[in-house]
């Protein structure tokens, strides 16, 4: 006991990274992590959780009754699986409902288009918006366009198809158009905004996603076309055909609430030290949110349960949080998001948040471990690699700096992040579409995720490793 | 000349299968067929045709203005590519329009479902049909059910997912439910009919298709669920949850016309002898009919054009027909279909129809040649194999007996059929869905189709081979 007390006070002084009796890399801890990893591989909890969640509640838009019902059910699920101090943290929200909508080419070459309104897009006037279309192939071209070229028209931005990448890096270059495009077009007097979906598939399915308010005001009605429809429109324009569209949407906002669901596995000896495992409960309305992000909840709850079932409770508290309202998070005060709500409520407890990780990238396999800067090349990284490499996870020289939308607000409070990077090659085929359904989850890869989280979290939870105190390695590790 | 006359009269007597100067298997004919095959591989006409057709007109439901406009455009396309005697054969049709529709689970587990009305399904009452659901896992179970078990309910038939097969043989066992299921359920007093889509994919897309009238009367409102939605409904029922649905459809029929588009490459020496290359112009309304059946038109027109461009016109006439109204063909007189119209109008000319082939199975590669029974093991089959084997097409011991929906009505008139069987492994992922769009066509496989058709049709067109006179081989050929 005195040894443990010593180690705690040493940690508190920030003088040592690892306490002697609580080293992540001691042989017994690694051995136990490997055993937990292997037991987690055979757990059926993740598949059970995501199957029930997506089947019972279908889509769970932020603030909907479905998200609220799912949260109550998930709290019961946590209790039934031995989590303690299970609570629901409610917060107000401006919700958004899609209503009805349609898109069509009118006049010559008249035909229907498959499109979806972007999140928080306002409705069209009754009867829709009908106007000629002006096409841009980059955000910069739209920004450079004169008001006269855009005024009264439907702005169409087609960056070409998003490129599929293992690390999902094809996504970023396209999201600026979705976030800021409608606002730029609206400022120039456009009647409506249409874009090629941000997605790597060629399915006839639009990818929705939230567009941003400009100065707190709703923008013009904004839509995403499926990739085949975007091809079609751009091909007709290239053929020299006139292009006129009619867009209809009855989307609207409403006042509601969302909630975070929180459950703990209290630490055996240092319960005030918390490791956060985050994911989100809400989904887009088009699919049933299996990969985004039912899978994340499934992975984190199953990983925590695998640790709980290992026969020895770890020293630190493992906290599973199903955040509410991730998808429509807006950078404006009147619309809430669960990650910000949780962080703002923490107060001084943030100092005892050891680290946070977020699972919000589907259910395909984990291929890389990303740690805070100070942990690069550390003994902790080496120990983690011993646990994770055999199941296909390599140590990455990429530092985890921002965590994700849900845990991100913990960053400014000084909480470090880890990341278990998942293969995103096919993630953006499905992301934010009707195709985000249970059948897209590969049970074997889901289990590998659970195993990686369980093994890694055990190493952190049953040790005194202090990521805040770690010094960055002076040179990048060999890889 | 006298030699040719002799061969014609010998053919007319049915005494010889092959005329001396017009043998399909002579070295020069095979050599020319190989040269045409290889030239066809590099032709861009098929891709041009299907790109323009699907882009300019989008979906082309039977009897729609879009199908009519596409027919006029296709006739111009044939003329521009040197076809002669191009004509449009118009016929009356009862068209069907989907209108608006929706499906949802109501009450506990309320959630939206992705569904589509089946072709020729009547509308629901305004406000929809809402009723409890009774599930059957086979057509036989539905047939055996008591009226009391079904009356007033929504009948749901889920045979499980269709199996993908190279030859498409997974399709047949499922289509009976679509064709006859609504009628059986209606006779027992069901309020509406819902089935798992006939498809091999796990996309959130329903597969439509025509349901059959019973005694000439429309059946109850009938819908197909996408596979993930069918999974979802069956999973909820398996969880013991109550299952109640609301179905809405504003589908309706209307009086219109459709048309066949016909163009010839007249034979140089025996123009009255006709080889029919068939496909259909209409498509389902959900997609743009790229694989069903823009591709068929593209393949046949490009193959004929490759022969026309070979520098020598063949002896016989090659006739390309884009049939109208294939998809909604009904076995009742008041609804037309192009294949029947063409055949009924033929009269005695049917006797000079040498053979017919139909391309209506997408754009994936041809893997087998199927011939009439008498041609099995024949010299013609051997010559054809010399042309086709190098591009991946094997002679099949399967006899081509029914041709397809469009050319099928020629069968009772004595016209033999050939078939160039295409790989159907992924065809039913896309068939009758919104996903049937241009991007699903692989240009390399499309070109292989054109090459196979061009080489084979040349062998037939520039020879005196008489399939009607051929005796079946006494033993099955080795293969």
- Could you tell me which residues come within 8 angstroms of residue A287 by beta carbon, excluding any fewer than 6 positions away? A59, A430, A432, A433, A434, A435, A436, A437, B204
Question: Per this entry, what is the length of chain B?
Answer: 479
Q: How many CB pairs (< 8 A) connect A and B?
A: 99
Whether chain B has a CB inside 8 Å of the CB on A56: the answer is yes
Higher pLDDT, A387 or B173: A387
Q: What is the separation of C-alpha B460 from the centre of its chain, rounded to a whole number of angstroms?
A: 22
**Contacts with A114 from chain B: Cβ below 8 Å:** 434
The complex scores an ipTM of 0.83
pLDDT tens profile B81-106: 999 999 999 999 989 999 999 999 99
Q: Give kind and range of the element (H or E) at residue B384.
A: helix B379-388
How far apart are alpha carbons A26 and A32 in whole angstroms? 10
Closest residue to B231, CB basis, from A204, A435, A439: A439
- Rounded to 5 degrees, what are φ and ψ at B13? -80, -10
Whole-number Å distance between alpha carbons of A372 and A354: 12
Q: Does B283 touch chain A (CB under 8 A)?
A: no
| Alpha helix ranges (H) inside A196-324 | 227-238, 295-308
Architecture field, domain A19-96+255-469: 3-Layer(aba) Sandwich (3.40)
Task: Give pLDDT tens digits for A117-155.
Answer: 999 899 999 999 999 999 999 999 999 999 999 999 999
Residue A15 pLDDT more than 60?
no
Residue of A nearest to B437 (CA): A228
Which of A66, A205, A239 is facing B55, going by the closest CB pair? A239
Q: Is the minimum CB–CB distance between B208 and chain A shorter than 8 Å?
A: no
Q: Is B51 on the interface with A (CB under 8 A)?
A: yes
Least confident of A31-40, A95-104, B108-117, B332-341: B332-341
CATH topology match: A19-96+255-469 vs A99-250: no
Pairing outcome for strands A252-265 and A316-323: antiparallel
CA B145 to each of CA A201, B183, B191, B245: distance values in angstroms, whole numbers, following the listed order: 43, 14, 15, 20
Task: Please indicate if any CB of chain A lies within 8 Å of the CB of B112.
Answer: yes
Nearest to A228 among B56, B57, B439 (CB): B439
Q: In this complex, is the C-beta atom of B287 within 8 Å of any C-beta atom belonging to chain A?
A: yes
B114 in contact with chain A, both atoms CB, cutoff 8 A: yes
- Chain A nearest-CA distance from B58, in A, is 6
CB contact under 8 A, A236 and B114: no
Q: What is the pLDDT of residues B126-137, one digit of tens each?
A: 999 999 999 999
Distances in whole angstroms, Cα of residue A270 to Cα of each of A314, A427, A463: 9, 38, 10
Q: Which of A232, A250, A436, A442 to mutate to test the interface with B (most CBs of B within 10 A)?
A: A232
H or E element, residue A84: strand A84-97
A80 CB contacts (<8 Å, ≥6 apart)?
none
Where along chain A do its domains lie? 19-96+255-469, 99-250
> What sections of B95-166 are H helices per DSSP?
139-144, 147-150
Nearest by CB: A232 against B55, B231, B433 = B55
| Closest among A302, A457, A448 to A384, alpha carbons compared | A457
- Any idea which fold B2-11+20-96+255-461 has? Aminopeptidase (3.40.630)
Instruction: Tell me the shortest Cα–Cα distance from B116 to chain A, in angstroms.
Output: 14
| Rounded mean pLDDT, A260-288 | 98
Cβ–Cβ gap A202/B438 under 8 Å: no
Choosing among B439, B441, B442, which should be mutated to test the A contact, i.e. which has the most A CBs within 10 A?
B439
The CATH number corresponding to A99-250 among 3.40.50.1100, 3.40.50.450, 3.20.20.70, 3.50.30.30 equals 3.50.30.30
Phi, psi (deg, nearest 5) at residue B60: -130, 65
Query: Quick one: pLDDT at residue B219?
Result: 83
Least confident of A290-299, A330-339, B86-95: A330-339
* CB contact (8 A) between residue B109 and residue A57: yes
Q: Is the CB of residue B205 less than 8 Å away from at least one CB of chain A? A: yes
- B138 has a pLDDT exceeding 90: yes
**A51 contact residues in B (CB cutoff 8 A):** 235
Residue B13, chain A, CB below 8 Å: the answer is no
Q: Looking at chain A from residue 288 to 327, which residues have their Cβ under 8 Å from any Cβ of chain B? A: 288
pLDDT of res. B19? 43
What torsion do the CA atoms of B310, B313, B318, B319 make, to the nearest 10 degrees? Answer: 90
B23 touches chain A (CB under 8 A): no
């Amino acid at each position: 006991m005195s040894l443990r007390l010593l180690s705690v006070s040493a940690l508190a002084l920030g003088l040592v990274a690892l306490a002697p009796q609580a080293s992540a890399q001691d042989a017994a801890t690694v051995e136990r992590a490997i055993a937990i990893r292997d037991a987690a591989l055979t757990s059926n909890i993740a598949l059970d959780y995501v199957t029930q969640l997506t089947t019972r509640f279908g889509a769970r838009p932020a603030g909907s009754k479905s998200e609220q019902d799912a949260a109550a059910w998930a709290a019961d699920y946590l209790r039934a699986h031995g989590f303690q101090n299970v609570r629901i943290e409610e917060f107000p929200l401006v919700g958004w409902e899609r209503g009805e909508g349609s898109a069509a080419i009118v006049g010559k070459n008249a035909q229907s288009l498959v499109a979806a309104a972007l999140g928080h897009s306002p409705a069209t006037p009754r009867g829709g918006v009908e106007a000629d279309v002006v096409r841009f192939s980059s955000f910069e071209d739209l920004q450079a366009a004169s008001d006269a070229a855009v005024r009264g028209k439907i702005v169409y931005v087609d960056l070409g198809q998003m490129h599929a990448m293992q690390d999902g890096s094809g996504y970023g270059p396209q999201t600026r158009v979705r976030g800021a495009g409608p606002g730029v077009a609206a400022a120039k007097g456009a009647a409506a905004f249409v874009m090629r979906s941000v997605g790597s598939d060629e399915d006839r399915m639009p990818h929705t996603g939230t567009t941003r308010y400009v100065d707190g005001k709703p923008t013009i009605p904004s839509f995403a076309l499926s990739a085949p429809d975007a091809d079609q429109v751009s091909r007709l324009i290239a053929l020299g055909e006139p292009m006129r569209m009619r867009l209809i949407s009855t989307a609207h906002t409403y006042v509601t609430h969302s909630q975070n669901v929180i459950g703990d596995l209290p630490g055996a000896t240092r319960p005030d030290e918390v490791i956060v495992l985050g994911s989100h409960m809400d989904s887009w309305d088009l699919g049933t949110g299996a990969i985004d992000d039912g899978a994340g909840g499934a992975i984190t709850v199953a990983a925590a349960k695998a640790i709980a079932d290992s026969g020895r409770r770890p020293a630190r508290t493992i906290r599973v949080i199903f955040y509410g309202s991730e998808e429509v998070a807006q950078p404006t005060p009147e619309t809430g998001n669960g990650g910000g709500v949780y962080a703002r409520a923490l107060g001084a407890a943030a100092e005892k948040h050891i680290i946070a990780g977020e699972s919000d990238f589907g259910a395909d396999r984990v291929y890389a471990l990303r740690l805070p800067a100070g942990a690069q090349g550390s003994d902790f990284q080496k120990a983690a690699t011993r646990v994770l490499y055999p199941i296909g996870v390599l140590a990455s020289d990429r530092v985890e700096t921002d965590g994700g939308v849900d845990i991100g607000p913990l960053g400014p409070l000084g909480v470090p992040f880890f990341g278990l990077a998942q293969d995103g090659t096919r993630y953006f085929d499905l992301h934010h579409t009707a195709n985000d359904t249970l059948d897209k989850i590969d049970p074997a890869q889901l289990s590998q995720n659970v195993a990686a989280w369980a093994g890694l979290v055990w190493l952190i939870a049953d040790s005194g490793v202090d990521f805040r105190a770690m010094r960055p390695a002076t040179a990048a590790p060999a890889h």
